[in-house]
Amino acid sequence: MPPAAVVALAAVGLLVAPVRVASTSMEPTLSPGDRLLVHTYGYGQGAPDRDDLVVFDRDGALLLKRVAAVAGETVGIEDGVLTVDGRPVREPAVDRRLVDGMYFGPVTVPDGTVFLLGDNRRGSVDSREFGPVPVERLTGRVLLRWWPRPGPP
């Protein structure tokens, strides 16, 4: 990102940081080596929305996942189909052929937390393993991918 663009974003009060994707857990949406611009102001002004791509701290490591469900919602996976409050969720980035036969939950997301999933369900360690993540552990929201294919993630 050109320095002038970073200065412009800082001038409007948007604190941003570059992040490099390190794993395959978000494929095909994001690939290892992709570089992202992350809004680091945090969620002190409100909770994240379902489908946001967020960065969070897990045991000293920064991870990147998608918000699948927010506090109060019931989330599950039925034969590879993500459901929230019993309704199927459209997920264009998830290859349904690779998740056929996958089941999880359902579980209700506690207050103050979010349920996070990787788009590459078979290759992601996410809330199915470590549980819902407290909102205060979220360090930012992905704004855009700037390398190698500029655009929305």
Residue 151 has pLDDT above 80, yes or no: no
Active site residue 124: no
Q: How far is CA 134 from CA 53, 67, 116, in A?
A: 15, 12, 11
For residue 80, give the nearest of 91, 57, 96, 61 by alpha carbon.
Answer: 96
For residue 100, give the nearest of 123, 120, 78 by alpha carbon.
Answer: 78
User: Structure pTM?
Assistant: 0.84
- What confidence tens digit (pLDDT) does each residue in 79-98 have? 889 999 999 999 888 877 77
Q: Do residues 16 and 6 touch, judged by C-beta distance below 8 A?
A: yes
For residue 53, give the nearest of 70, 39, 67 by alpha carbon.
Answer: 67
Neighbouring C-beta atoms of residue 113, cutoff 10 Å: 19
Marked catalytic residue, from 23, 25, 31, 127: 25
- What confidence tens digit (pLDDT) does each residue in 29-39 have? 888 888 888 88
Is residue 41 very low, low, confident or very high in pLDDT (cuts 50, 70, 90)?
A: low
Active site residue 25: yes
Marked catalytic residue, from 23, 31, 65, 127: 65
